[in-house]
Structures are given as structure tokens and as C-alpha cells.
């Protein structure tokens, strides 16, 4: 008897949290206190990883099959689709797999985000964030995120900065406990930035492009630094690898599926059910999912292999830190080789990645030097929130699949609760676009006429959805 | 061999003696327990580098013999690791490990009859991230250049690959916010007499300094463990000299006194305590890591603290924390694990101890120091 313990990286977001996964009959999480990104600390999602890593089974049209057969059948169906196949990877796997994937996906690559709508010269700024140590040393930090809900491990870095004298300004729909100054998004003109400011925003598949431009523009005009946190385990690696590739946005992919020009979708380590409407997915002739853990989407073919913690390879976190995954598995790469028609060599891909980043060894304690080119002036026109009740989806990077989480409520302020005569422990009725639902609520210092949700309720139309609310 | 006896001993295996701390006695004793089937498994630290080692449970003798020696920058805890696994196991244990194991035993999560606890003298451990920063800021050396470390005469010494020794007093380091974890500073269990056998280098004298381990047998299981290793040819022992025994007692007294001084320094009365607790807890993100890692909690996922708490509550201080304060009043052993893993750096151990110190003093009950059940642990219901 001997425990299998994997030193790995949390797949919850791109923060790069190190941890151990212990296999001893069941899965367990141990705290890897020497990890430079998180000192072993984990958020609610990290603590739930044993449930997240539910094993997947390879299937063809609902029938269990060996992985190789599923990959071969996928290759056939992709080939038969004659140019109507799209390839989606949100960035939840190793750089080595992503590099192999890109060779397969040349005809139609979707990374889930919309770089096409942003100026080319902002690509590097958006892709590679600044080191957390710089955030801790900042004099002024401006948040365009809710760190507690969206990227919890940044909270301790912000508190550390605050203890050293930093001022924290939040531009958000809710007062944040750690902020010295809370500005509502509609009052952005009150925001005073200097060269000593660091802006923290995020960039994800549902990001409002105009808002991203606005953040970039604010930073540019003030000479401030800006860093974008990202929601997938290897978002940074994915964007670095795909820098010169032609990319389609998620909206474009959805449109192409709806139009019928895309009939086959191959998704690599990406749970699409949270991002692509089910009626769109139902229009596909073939949905092929390659993954290391169970997915909630119903696929025609599932290519199942080892989970992330058992894989060999590297990830790049928000800071640009290159981190080794703890395992030795290359089955994901083998499957991609079957689809490509020729086997991929891990070492060749790994060396190519190191060359791209400009490193000779993978050392998680040293952040490689990246070019941080300036970008030109940007015009942005973010839409103001209408002065009537709106449901705002606080994009939660953690793909919970079917994991139970205690976040099934909306947040609203005391004025709204009193005006609607809501009862403690009771519910709130929300109507939108002909849909209606009843939700528990939490009273919080939220902007008037705003409901915040960290969980998709199924009635949203983008980030901001006008709603009617009642008791 | 029997309870109360003391010895000085070392491994008979050359490579273990060289690699292991203080003559490799503990490593060899654990290997012998496996070899002679006294236990089915052993807990060891698998060393990754000077600042990282991962605890594993193994039945492989070679894995035991190749395991790490003393690593002060690996603040792990073993109680939860062996809980609910129904193992016949031997393991090395710092004072706080021993206390956690005993508390798990009281809660029927560990069978104490099948658990052989090799206590390790402990002056404290350090957080690896803090240690790396300390090396660069205070010692002006790169963490990668460190080849070994030891504590001697109040100094923390790091040996570098170029053969140099770099020493700074622990007092100076802790004044600057480095050095031991806060909970280790005020811990007063320096020699774990609550273990089956307590081992350490305090009390080793003369030519044996650095080459042998001083052991004190605290139970019949401890005697079996040591005798088994001697009979199997894994270790050699001899009686300690009187000077060594006296020195060990003196060091223990000094260390415990220092711990008490820290306790007196940290746990001072304060104004507006409610506001203090509220402020410290206001950034909690409900991850539950403090409960998961707590070596005295054996409730599992479903428990009062979790079931009375809803994220939709808007309480200034959550029911989760209030229930845990209550539960830990007579259970907290001050190990510091909760503070270590808190993602928003809440000094949880300090908060728990603020409740636990007076309660445990008043009830004359120190959890994990013996097998006595906590006061009010059992409730008799009227028929």
C-alpha cells in the first residue's frame, strides 16, 4: 500500500493554485503550502475538487467504448463533416495539448473569447497579467471584479496591499468589504486614476467587449497598469499559443451553429453547457467532447482520458508563471494524435512551448520575462445600466458542472427588500422575457434596482438582463 | 523495556544514519515496525525539496528508509491523514500531531490500539512561503541554494550548497515577522510526552551529538516499538548519561517558558472584542478549509457548523464561525493548521484560542494530552 499523491494545479480558474490530489480509494485534496501562487490556500471550488473530478467514460452514441475507438470515430466524423467542423478549447488543459489541438483546429478555432473585436495591439496586455507581488506592492488598486465571488485567492493579495498602505477602489454594483472607496459602474467618471494605479478586471467568454475596451482605455489614459484575471486553468497559455492563429468568438460559433454552417463541434476539456444554449447544441449533428472528467453536456462522442492532475505538461497562470502538472499521463495527447492522423510527441511540443515563452527550464518560482508592449488609444462605448431592475450575472469562473454549491440566491439591497416587503428566509419572484422564477435572496449593499447572481439562473440575456421583481 | 525508561539510540544502517536527522533512529524504528509486521503501514514525509515534502502512507520499507529527515518548513499535520482509514499504523508526530490523533481517537475516528505514535520534540515549524521570503530578505541567500537547516542554541541555521552556514537568532527573525508560525511560538508542548515514545536530540551528549536520538518510552506500545527495532537489528540503544537527562529537562523547561511568554504577549485583553472578531472574519469566503483541516474535528461534511450556515444569510458573523467557536472551546489544540490554509489569511487559530484558552484553563482540560473525554462530551437522555 502506498498513497498516490499528485502535486498539481487547481483547474478552477487561471490563478494557478497549487495543491495535492491524494488517491487512496477515494480522492482527497491536500494543501500544498509551498505553492508560490496560493501558499497552499484554496477557495470553495478548490475544496470541492474531489467531486469535480468525477470520472468520465468514452462513449460513441451512448455506448461505452475504448478511448482509441472514440477518437477514431471522432476523426471519421470530423473528416465527413467536410469543413463544417469547429474546434473549441476554453483553455482547461496543458500547453502541450493546446499546441497539438491548434494544429487540428486550424480551420475553425474558438478559444471562447472575442479577441477579434479588440485592437490587435492589446492582445499581450489582455493575455498576460502582472505578478501578484506587484499587486501587493501597489499604491492604488482599482477593482472591476468582485474578488470574493470571482477570484477569491486574490483577496489575500489585496488585503496585503492594503496593510502596506494601498488604497482600494471598487467599481462594482455592490460595496466590497475590502474597498476604501466604492464607485458604481454608472458613476465611472468619479474614478481617479494615476500612474500608481493598478486596474484589476477580468476577461472571459461573456465579457462585454466595450467594457474591456473601456478598462483598457482608462488605463491607457492614466498611464496605469492593468491586469485581466481569467477563468480557465490555462487561459494564459491558450492565448499565448493562439496569438497568431485566427480565432472565432463564442458568439460567432453560436451563430454559425444556429445558421447550420457548423454541424460538428469538437470541444477539448471545455464544459460547454454553461456557455452555449441547449437549443443551439441540439442543432449540431455531432458534438464531440474530449475530457478528463464527466461533463454535463450530452455528447455524441465522449473521448475520456486521465484528469488534469494526472497529466504530464505545463500550465501558465495569470501572472505568466509556468507551472508543471504533476502527472505522467499523455492519453489526451494520444487521442489528439488519433484525430490528427499522426502521433504527437510530448517532448517536441514541450520544447516548443518553452521556446515560445523563452525559458529553458520550468521553474514555478520564477516568472519569465514577457514583452509588455504599449497599445494605442481606444474608443469605448460601454452601455449604462437602465434605471430599472436588472439582473446582473457575476460571471463565476468556476465550472461547477453538477456540483452542488450554496449559491442559489440573488443579492439585493435593504431598500429593495423593504419596498417589496420581502420576508427574511423567504423568496423573490423574478420575471424576464416571458420566464419567471422564484429565488432566495440575500440582503447586501448592492446598488438600487440591481440583483446580483453568481449562478446562472437560465433567464439571462448576457451580463445585464432587465427584469421585473416582486414578492 | 518499559514505560518511563529513557535511551539514546541510532540506526544501524549507514545510509539512514547519514541522511536521517540525529542518527536516523526514528526512520529505522518505523521501518522495523513495518518489517516485523507490528504495523501494516507507516506515515512518512516524501521530500520534494528543502521547503516541501508530502506526507504519504506506505507499506514499502524502502520508501520509509528513503524518507525525509527533519524539515522545519513543512508544517503538515497527520491526524486527519490517518483518520477513518482503519489502519494499523506507526507514524512520527509533533506534539500537535499527537494531540490531534488522540482527539480523533476520542471521536472513534482512529483506533488508538492500532496506532503507534512516535513523538518528535518540536520547537516549532515555519511556513514554506514565509521561509523562502525570509531567506531572501534576512539571510540574503537564494532558497534554491539551501542544502540543509538546523536549529542550535536559539539560532536558525541554513547551510548552503557552497558549504557555508548562515545563522540568525530566532528572536531577531520573529521580531521581523519571520521564523516560526505564530501558533508554534506560543505552543508549550515541546517534548510530546503524550505520544507512545518521545524522540529528539535534546539530551544527547558528547561524541553522540548529531549522531543519536534521545528517547523516552511513554507507553507499553512505545516499549514494543523500540524493542522491536532493537530485536530486528535496525537500531542500537544505550542508557543516557545523567548529564543528558538533566540537559533535556532544562531545555524542555526553557522552551516551555518561552512558549508561555509568547502566549502572554499575544493573548492580552482588548477593547471592543465583538468588533475585533467581526472585523477579522469579515473577509471569509465560506471555503470550509479551516474545518476540513482541523485535526480535532471529525464531523464530516454534514455538521452543525455547516448545516446552520447558509451563504444567503446576511449575518455580520456567520453561524459557521459561531458554532466552530463553541465546538473548539474544549477541542482546539492550537496547531495553526486553520490559519495556514485560510485563503483570506484570517488568523483563525488566534481567534479560536481566545475562546479556548480560558475555557480549557477553567475546565482544567487540555485536549489531546490524555485520553480523558472532554467535559460535557456525553449526554445521558432520560428515558
- Is B212's pLDDT higher than 90? yes
* Distance (Å, whole) CA A452 – CA A396: 12
Instruction: Please state which CATH number belongs to domain A390-470.
Output: 2.40.40.20
| A400 has pLDDT over 60 | no
Distance from CA of A26 to the nearest CA of B (A): 11
Question: A447 CA to chain B: closest CA distance, Å?
Answer: 16
> How many angstroms separate the CA atoms of A193 and A287, rounded?
47
Which pLDDT score is estimated for A387?
Answer: 73
Gap between the Cα atoms of A204 and A150, Å rounded: 11
> What pLDDT, on the 0 to 100 scale, is given for residue A22?
94
Edge-first strand listing for the sheet containing A18-23: A4-9, A18-23, A27-31
ipTM of the complex model: 0.94
Note whether A2 contacts B57, CB cutoff 8 Å: yes
Place of cell 521581523: B176
Can you list the positions of beta strands (E) in chain B? 6-11, 41-49, 52-58, 89-93, 115-120, 146-152, 155-160, 165-169, 197-200, 213-217, 235-238
Q: What is the DSSP letter of A311?
A: B
pLDDT > 90: what percent of chain A?
83
Selected residue of A34, A41, A157 to mutate for chain B interface (largest B Cβ count, 10 A): A34
Mean pLDDT score of chain B = 93
Model confidence band, residue B26 (pLDDT cutoffs 50, 70, 90): very high
pLDDT score, position B18: 82
- Give the per-residue pLDDT at B62: 92
Tell me the three cell numbers of residue A318. 495569470
- Judging contacts by C-beta atoms under 8 Å, the chain A residues touching residue B345 are 156, 159-160
What are the extents of the domains in chain B?
Answer: 6-121+188-261, 128-179, 273-362
For residue B382, the tally of other CB atoms under 10 A from its CB is 3
Q: How sure is the predictor about B381, in pLDDT bands with cuts at 50, 70 and 90? A: low
C-alpha cell at A104: 487540428
Q: How many CA atoms lie within 13 A of B345 on its CB side?
A: 15
Q: Quickly state the pLDDT bin for A273 (edges 50, 70, 90).
A: confident
Q: Would you tell me how many other CB atoms lie within 10 Å of the CB of residue B129?
A: 19
The DSSP secondary structure of A107-139, one letter per residue, reads TSEE-SS-GGGS-GGGHHHHHS---HHHHHT-S
For residue A93, count CB atoms less than 10 angstroms from its CB and return exposed for 0-12, middle for 13-18, buried for 19 or more. buried
Average pLDDT over residues A95-104: 96
pLDDT, position B61? 94
pLDDT at res. A295 = 83
Q: Topology of A56-382 in CATH?
A: Rossmann fold (3.40.50)
pLDDT(A398) > 70: no
- Strand A4-9 relative to strand A18-23, pairing: antiparallel
Query: Which residue of A1, A20, A33, A157 is the best one to mutate when testing the B interface, meaning the one whose CB has the most B CBs within 10 A?
Result: A33
The mean pLDDT of A59-86, rounded to a whole number, is: 96
Give the 3-state secondary structure of residue A355.
helix
Q: For the segment B277-314, what is each residue's pLDDT rounded down to a tens digit? A: 999 999 999 999 999 999 999 988 889 999 999 888 88
Q: Looking at the DSSP assignment, which residues form a beta bridge with residue B328?
A: none
**CA–CA distance, B158 with B129 (Å, rounded to integer):** 16
**What was the pLDDT predicted at A425?**
86
Q: Which of A318-327, B74-83, B237-246, B372-381 has the lowest mean pLDDT?
A: B372-381
Query: Is residue A401 over pLDDT 60?
Result: no
What number is the average pLDDT over the span A119-131? 96
In the numeric block, the cell 489569511 is attached to B345
Report whether pLDDT(B73) > 90.
no
Could you write out the DSSP letters of every residue in A438-460? Answer: EEEEEE-SBPTTEEEESS--S--
Q: Are A298 and A286 in contact (CB under 8 A)?
A: no
Q: CATH second-level architecture of B128-179?
A: Roll (3.10)
Q: What is the pLDDT of residue B19?
A: 78
A456 versus A410: the higher-pLDDT residue is: A410
Least confident of A103-117, A212-226, A268-282, A354-368: A268-282
Of the listed ranges A76-85, A140-149, B149-158, B226-235, the least confidently predicted one is B149-158
In this structure, chain B runs to a length of: 383
Residues of chain A with C-beta less than 8 angstroms from the C-beta of B144: 365
pLDDT band with cut points at 50, 70 and 90 for residue A433: confident
**φ/ψ of residue A352, rounded to 5:** -65, -40
Amino acid at each position: 500500500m502506498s498513497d498516490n499523491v499528485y502535486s498539481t494545479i487547481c483547474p478552477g480558474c487561471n490563478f494557478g493554485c497549487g495543491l495535492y490530489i491524494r488517491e487512496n480509494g477515494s480522492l482527497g485534496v491536500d494543501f500544498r503550502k509551498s505553492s508560490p501562487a496560493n501558499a497552499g490556500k484554496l477557495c470553495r471550488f478548490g475544496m470541492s475538487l474531489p467531486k469535480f473530478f468525477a470520472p468520465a467514460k468514452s462513449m460513441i452514441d451512448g455506448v461505452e467504448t475504448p478511448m482509441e475507438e472514440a477518437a477514431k470515430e471522432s476523426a471519421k466524423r470530423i473528416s465527413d463533416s467536410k469543413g463544417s467542423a469547429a474546434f473549441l478549447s476554453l483553455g482547461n488543459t496543458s500547453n502541450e495539448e493546446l499546441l497539438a489541438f491548434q494544429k487540428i483546429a486550424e480551420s475553425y478555432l474558438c478559444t471562447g473569447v472575442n479577441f477579434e473585436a479588440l485592437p490587435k495591439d492589446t492582445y499581450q496586455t489582455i493575455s498576460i497579467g502582472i505578478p501578484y507581488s506587484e499587486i501587493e506592492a501597489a499604491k492604488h488598486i482599482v477593482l472591476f471584479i468582485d474578488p470574493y465571488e470571482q477570484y477569491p485567492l486574490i483577496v489575500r493579495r489585496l488585503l496585503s496591499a492594503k496593510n502596506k498602505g494601498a488604497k482600494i477602489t471598487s467599481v462594482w454594483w455592490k460595496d466590497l468589504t475590502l474597498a476604501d472607496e466604492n464607485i458604481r459602474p454608472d458613476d465611472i467618471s468619479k474614478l481617479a486614476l494615476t500612474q500608481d494605479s493598478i486596474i484589476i478586471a477580468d476577461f472571459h467568454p461573456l465579457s462585454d467587449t466595450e467594457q474591456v475596451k473601456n478598462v483598457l482605455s482608462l488605463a491607457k489614459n492614466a498611464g496605469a497598469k492593468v491586469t485581466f484575471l481569467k477563468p480557465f486553468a490555462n487561459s494564459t497559455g491558450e492565448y499565448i499559443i493562439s496569438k497568431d492563429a485566427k480565432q472565432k468568438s463564442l458568439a460567432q460559433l453560436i451563430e454559425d451553429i444556429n445558421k447550420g454552417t457548423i454541424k460538428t463541434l469538437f470541444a477539448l476539456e471545455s464544459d460547454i453547457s454553461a456557455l452555449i444554449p441547449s437549443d443551439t447544441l441540439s442543432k449540431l449533428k455531432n458534438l464531440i467532447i474530449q475530457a478528463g472528467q464527466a461533463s454535463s453536456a450530452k455528447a455524441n462522442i465522449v473521448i475520456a482520458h486521465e484528469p488534469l492532475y494526472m497529466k504530464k505538461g505545463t500550465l501558465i497562470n495569470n501572472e505568466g508563471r509556468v507551472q508543471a502538472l504533476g502527472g505522467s499521463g499523455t492519453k489526451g495527447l494520444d487521442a489528439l494524435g488519433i484525430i490528427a492522423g499522426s502521433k504527437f510527441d510530448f517532448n517536441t511540443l514541450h520544447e516548443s512551448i518553452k521556446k515560445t515563452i523563452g525559458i529553458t527550464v520550468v521553474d514555478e518560482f520564477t516568472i519569465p520575462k514577457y514583452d509588455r508592449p504599449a497599445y494605442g488609444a481606444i474608443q469605448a462605448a460601454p452601455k449604462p445600466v437602465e434605471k430599472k431592475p436588472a439582473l446582473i450575472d457575476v460571471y463565476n469562473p468556476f465550472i461547477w458542472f453538477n456540483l452542488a454549491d450554496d449559491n442559489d440566491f440573488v443579492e439585493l439591497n435593504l431598500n429593495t427588500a423593504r419596498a417589496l416587503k420581502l420576508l427574511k428566509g423567504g423568496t423573490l419572484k423574478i420575471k424576464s422575457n416571458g420566464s419567471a422564477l422564484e429565488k432566495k435572496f440575500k440582503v447586501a449593499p448592492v446598488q438600487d434596482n440591481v440583483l446580483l447572481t453568481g449562478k446562472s439562473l437560465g433567464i439571462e440575456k448576457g451580463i445585464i438582463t432587465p427584469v421585473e421583481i416582486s414578492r | 523495556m518499559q514505560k518511563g525508561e529513557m535511551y539514546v539510540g541510532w540506526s544501524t544502517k549507514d545510509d539512514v544514519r547519514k541522511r536521517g536527522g540525529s542518527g536516523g533512529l526514528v526512520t529505522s524504528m518505523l521501518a522495523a515496525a513495518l518489517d516485523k509486521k507490528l504495523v501494516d503501514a507507516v506515515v512518512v514525509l516524501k521530500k520534494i525539496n528543502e521547503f516541501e515534502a508530502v506526507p504519504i502512507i506506505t507499506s514499502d520499507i524502502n520508501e520509509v528508509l528513503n524518507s525525509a529527515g527533519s524539515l522545519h518548513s513543512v508544517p503538515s499535520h497527520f491526524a486527519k491523514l490517518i483518520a477513518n482509514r482503519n489502519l494499523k499504523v506507526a507514524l512520527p508526530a509533533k506534539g500537535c500531531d499527537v494531540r490531534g490523533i488522540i482527539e480523533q481517537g476520542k471521536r472513534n475516528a482512529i483506533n488508538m490500539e492500532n496506532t503507534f505514535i512516535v513523538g518528535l520534540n518540536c520547537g516549532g515549524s515555519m511556513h514554506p512561503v514565509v521561509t523562502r521570503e525570509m531567506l531572501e530578505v534576512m539571510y540574503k541567500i537564494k532558497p534554491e541554494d539551501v542544502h540543509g537547516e538546523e536549529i542550535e542554541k536559539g539560532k536558525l541555521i541554513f547551510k548552503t550548497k557552497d558549504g557555508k552556514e548562515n545563522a540568525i537568532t530566532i528572536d531577531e527573525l520573529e521580531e521581523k515577522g519571520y521564523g516560526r508560525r505564530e501558533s508554534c511560538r506560543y505552543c508549550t508542548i515541546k517534548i510530546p510526552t503524550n505520544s507512545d515514545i518521545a524522540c529528539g536530540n535534546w539530551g544527547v551528549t558528547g561524541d553522540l551529538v548529531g549522531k543519536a536520538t534521545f528517547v523516552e518510552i511513554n507507553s507499553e506500545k512505545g516499549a514494543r516499538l523500540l524493542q522491536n527495532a532493537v530485536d530486528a537489528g535496525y537500531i542500537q540503544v544505550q542508557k543516557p548519561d545523567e548529564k543528558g537527562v538533566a540537559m533535556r529537562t532544562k531545555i524542555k523547561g526553557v522552551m516551555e517558558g518561552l512558549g508561555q511568554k509568547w502566549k502572554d504577549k499575544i493573548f492580552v485583553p482588548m477593547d471592543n472584542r465583538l468588533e475585533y472578531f467581526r472585523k477579522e472574519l469579515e473577509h471569509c469566503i465560506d471555503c470550509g478549509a479551516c474545518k476540513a483541516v482541523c485535526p480535532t474535528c471529525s464531523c464530516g461534511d454534514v455538521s452543525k457548523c455547516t448545516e446552520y450556515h447558509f451563504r444567503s444569510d446576511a449575518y455580520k458573523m456567520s453561524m459557521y464561525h459561531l458554532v466552530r467557536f463553541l465546538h473548539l472551546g474544549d477541542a482546539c489544540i492550537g496547531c495553526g493548521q486553520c490559519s495556514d490554509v485560510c485563503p483570506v489569511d484570517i488568523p483563525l487559530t488566534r481567534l479560536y484560542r481566545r475562546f479556548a484558552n480560558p475555557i480549557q484553563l477553567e475546565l482544567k482540560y487540555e485536549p489531546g494530552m490524555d485520553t480523558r473525554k472532554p467535559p460535557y462530551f456525553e449526554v445521558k437522555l432520560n428515558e
